[in-house]
């Protein structure tokens, strides 16, 4: 019985690692988010070796930083664009109509 437990443990550890492109940023926000979601799914399945898990974690951190930076940049652009168009809301403006 010990040998079957050992074999199943080896199968778990020796699972084929997911290919990760750790050298280049994603082509855009959506691609980065999709890749990050795929990494999370793969890691949650629990069939990655320790080495593959560490590489996936590293890539996930890179993608998270990329997505956060991209999103913050987009939010800043929206703030700048809205700065000239937003007006303070006043209930007196509605009452006058």
Contact present, 70 and 31 (Cβ < 8 Å)? no
Closest to 48 (Cα-Cα) out of 72, 78, 12: 12
Domain locations in the chain as residue ranges: 2-95
Model confidence, pTM: 0.63
Span 58-82, average pLDDT = 94
Confidence of residue 60 (pLDDT cuts 50, 70, 90): very high
Which backbone phi and psi does 41 adopt, to 5 degrees?
Answer: -60, -45
3 state SS of 29: helix
Encoded tokens for 20: 């990760």
The confidence score (pLDDT) of residue 67 equals 96
CATH number of 2-95: 1.10.287.1040
């Amino acid at each position: 019985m010990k040998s079957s437990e050992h074999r199943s443990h080896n199968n778990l550890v020796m699972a084929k690692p997911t290919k990760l492109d750790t050298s280049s940023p994603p082509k855009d926000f959506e691609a980065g988010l999709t890749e990050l979601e795929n990494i999370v799914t793969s890691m949650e399945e629990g069939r990655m070796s320790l080495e593959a898990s560490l590489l996936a974690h590293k890539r996930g951190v890179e993608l998270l930083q990329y997505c956060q930076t991209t999103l913050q940049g987009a939010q800043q652009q929206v703030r700048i664009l809205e700065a000239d168009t937003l007006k303070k809301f006043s209930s007196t403006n509605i009452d006058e109509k």
